[in-house]
């Protein structure tokens, strides 16, 4: 039987789990960011926006996500004692219940995102001769193969976080090669007259504001993972490397995201891009160089998502593990095996991924449906981190000897908070309401965690917030059952 250790203590041999260096942390961020999303960006962005609106959307995203990346860098430097990244900051700033909700929302976003990765990776396989039976990635053969891959990753990670992180470095390098070739070939095929065609979008796409809003969940989706290094802060060799890894990952990713989406608009028009099957980079490169281009990009996606799934399986399990260790979630989630792997958190996470893979077989959920739902779950945790950065800058908490930096960090925190509010507005009521269906059941986990510590469950304000979450969850569930609300 696997030996379990509370608190991630060293194994019986006395050998501590090796710490993650800057290269491993950066690879986790890059692998989490440059995944399935970048291979589907051309179609996802063009589905409801013209080139002009897409440029505006990326400009807003650049500023907002840069501020958010700075927020994580600042919090890593000013609050090195706070573990857990996204949820740890929310708990430190807004109390245990909001910290729990941040952990819960981030965790659900991560594993639902993993479900979408399995769907899109086998959709890419279906483009190869003889593998058409994988369809859109949600057929029975696709679900069976996804399940095999899911549990292969599970047992790999159970052999130790460090070994899985090293494999992730290799896959991160491998995925950048086909993407680099894509950018070169599409740049050569780029035609300015195609790019300028219906620059501000066709009338049926709506106003510029509507088009820009439509890009927000997509651009946010591809940047989920920017906080990846902060999640693993407790495993980092040097705390300063957490901020460095975050900024390196952001810089590399934003350049590639913008280039892929904008250069594609110079190869195919907006309606042509919108009609492509995902991964849409395959269709773009096919138009540029022929059939072999599609084969290259589908193969590239498989390599990319293969690596990203490893990174995101690590990230998805790390949050409930850390939350179980410190009492934010039930204690059984904070247990590790002799290799330092969070076995219970990993089992629960991958069990839910398995369940949702089976559900996609029966309700036909596709990549974009899962993408939007996963993104909506992480908007509140991101906003709470930005607000916490504002809070510590105002109080100069953690700025001993560096009080002069508080003003700059306050401005960054305010801008990141404004961006977080804009994302909630851009997402619209539908996906926020859907997210409540998933937030509300988390209360049961929170109640168990508090009862284990013999603590009062809610303050008066927390009781009100919990009641609102349950009420909205029930309304959304009823509307889903009656067909008034759909994913």
Least confident of 58-72, 140-154, 422-436, 455-469: 422-436
Contact 82, 75 (CB under 8 A): yes
Which residue did the predictor score with more confidence, 447 or 229?
447
Contact 457, 447 (CB under 8 A): yes
Distance of CA 292 to the CA centre of its chain: 30
Alpha-carbon span 273 to 47, nearest angstrom: 7
Conformation bin of residue 160: beta by default, left when phi > 0, alpha when psi is -120 to 50: left
Q: Tens digit of pLDDT for each residue in 141-161?
A: 999 999 999 999 898 888 865
* CB contact set of 354 (below 8 Å; sequence gap of 6+): 147, 150
Q: Tens digit of pLDDT for each residue in 314-353?
A: 878 888 998 899 889 999 999 988 887 889 999 999 999 9
pLDDT of residue 231: 64
Which DSSP string corresponds to 61-103? HHHHHHHHHHHHHHHHHH-TT--STHHHHHHHHH-HHHHHHHH
Element (H, E) at 11: none
CATH number for the 18-425 domain, one of 3.40.190.290, 3.40.50.300, 1.20.1740.10, 3.40.50.720?
1.20.1740.10
Q: Tens digit of pLDDT for each residue in 351-363?
A: 999 998 998 887 7
Q: Tens digit of pLDDT for each residue in 206-251?
A: 999 999 998 987 888 788 767 666 666 667 777 778 778 888 888 8
* CB contact set of 188 (below 8 Å; sequence gap of 6+): 288
Handedness of CA 178, 258, 384, 365 (dihedral sign): negative
346 SS3 class: helix
Element (H, E) at 5: strand 4-6
Distance of CA 188 to the CA centre of its chain: 32
Cβ-count burial of 369 within 10 angstroms (0-12 exposed, 13-18 middle, 19+ buried)? Answer: middle
Contact 333, 348 (CB under 8 A): yes
Q: How confident is the model at residue 12 (pLDDT cuts 50, 70, 90)?
A: very low
Distance of CA 76 to the CA centre of its chain: 19
pLDDT of residue 364: 61
Alpha-carbon span 91 to 87, nearest angstrom: 6
Nearest to 374 by CA among 290, 308, 435, 293: 435
Structure tokens at 454: 């013999």
Q: Is the pLDDT of residue 14 over 60?
A: no
Mean pLDDT (whole number) for 421-432:
84
Mean pLDDT (whole number) for 272-300:
90
Upper half-sphere CA count for residue 460 (Cβ side, 13 Å)? 0
Extents of the domains making up the chain: 18-425
pLDDT of residue 51: 94
pLDDT of residue 11: 36
Mean pLDDT (whole number) for 443-463:
92
The verdict on whether omega for the bond into residue 92 sits within 30 degrees of 0, i.e. cis, is: no
Q: Is the pLDDT of residue 75 over 60?
A: yes
Neighbours of 205 (CB within 10 A): 21
Owner of token pair 């959920």: 365
Mean pLDDT (whole number) for 403-412:
90
In order of 250, 407, 439, the CA distances from 78 in angstroms are 20, 14, 30
């Amino acid at each position: 039987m696997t030996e379990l250790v509370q608190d991630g203590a060293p194994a019986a041999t006395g050998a501590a789990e090796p710490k993650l260096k800057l290269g491993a942390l950066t690879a986790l961020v890059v692998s989490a960011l440059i995944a399935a999303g970048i291979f589907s960006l051309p179609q996802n962005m063009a589905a409801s926006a013209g080139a002009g609106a897409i440029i505006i959307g990326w400009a807003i995203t650049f500023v907002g996500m840069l501020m958010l990346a700075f927020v994580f860098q600042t919090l890593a430097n000013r609050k090195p004692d706070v573990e857990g990244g996204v949820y740890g900051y929310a708990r430190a700033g807004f109390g245990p219940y909001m910290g729990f909700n941040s952990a819960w929302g981030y965790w659900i976003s991560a594993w639902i995102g993993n479900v979408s990765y399995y769907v899109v990776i086998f959709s890419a396989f279906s483009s190869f001769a003889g593998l058409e039976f994988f369809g859109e990635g949600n057929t029975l053969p696709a679900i069976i193969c996804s399940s095999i891959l899911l549990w292969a990753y599970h047992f790999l990670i159970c052999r130790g976080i460090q070994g899985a992180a090293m494999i992730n470095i290799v896959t991160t390098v491998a995925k950048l090669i086909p993407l680099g070739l894509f950018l070169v070939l599409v740049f050569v095929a780029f035609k300015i007259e195609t790019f300028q065609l219906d620059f501000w979008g066709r009338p049926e796409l709506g106003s510029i504001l509507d088009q820009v809003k439509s890009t927000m969940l997509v651009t946010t989706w591809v940047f989920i993972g920017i906080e990846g290094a902060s999640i693993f802060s407790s495993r980092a060799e040097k705390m300063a490397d957490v901020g460095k890894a975050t900024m390196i990952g952001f810089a590399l990713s934003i350049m590639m995201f913008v280039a892929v989406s904008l250069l594609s608009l110079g190869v195919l028009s907006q309606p042509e891009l919108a009609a492509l099957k995902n991964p849409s980079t395959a269709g773009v490169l096919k138009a540029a160089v022929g059939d072999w281009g599609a084969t290259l990009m589908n193969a590239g996606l498989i390599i990319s998502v293969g690596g990203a799934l490893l990174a995101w399986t690590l990230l998805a399990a790390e949050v409930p593990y850390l939350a179980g260790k410190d009492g934010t979630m039930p204690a059984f989630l904070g247990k590790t095996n002799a290799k330092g792997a969070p076995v219970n958190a990993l089992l629960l996470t991958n069990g839910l991924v398995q369940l949702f893979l089976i559900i996609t077989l029966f309700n036909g959920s596709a990549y974009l449906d899962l993408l939007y739902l996963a993104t909506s779950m992480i908007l509140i945790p991101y906003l709470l981190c930005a607000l916490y950065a504002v809070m510590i800058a105002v109080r100069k908490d953690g700025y001993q000897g560096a009080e002069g930096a508080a003003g700059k960090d306050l401005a960054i925190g305010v801008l990141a908070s404004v961006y977080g509010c804009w994302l909630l507005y851009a997402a619209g009521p539908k996906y926020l309401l859907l997210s409540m269906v998933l937030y509300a059941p988390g209360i049961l986990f929170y109640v168990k965690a508090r009862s284990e510590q013999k603590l009062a469950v809610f303050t008066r304000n927390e009781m009100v917030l919990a009641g609102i979450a349950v009420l909205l969850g029930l309304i959304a569930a009823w509307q889903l059952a009656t067909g008034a609300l759909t994913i």
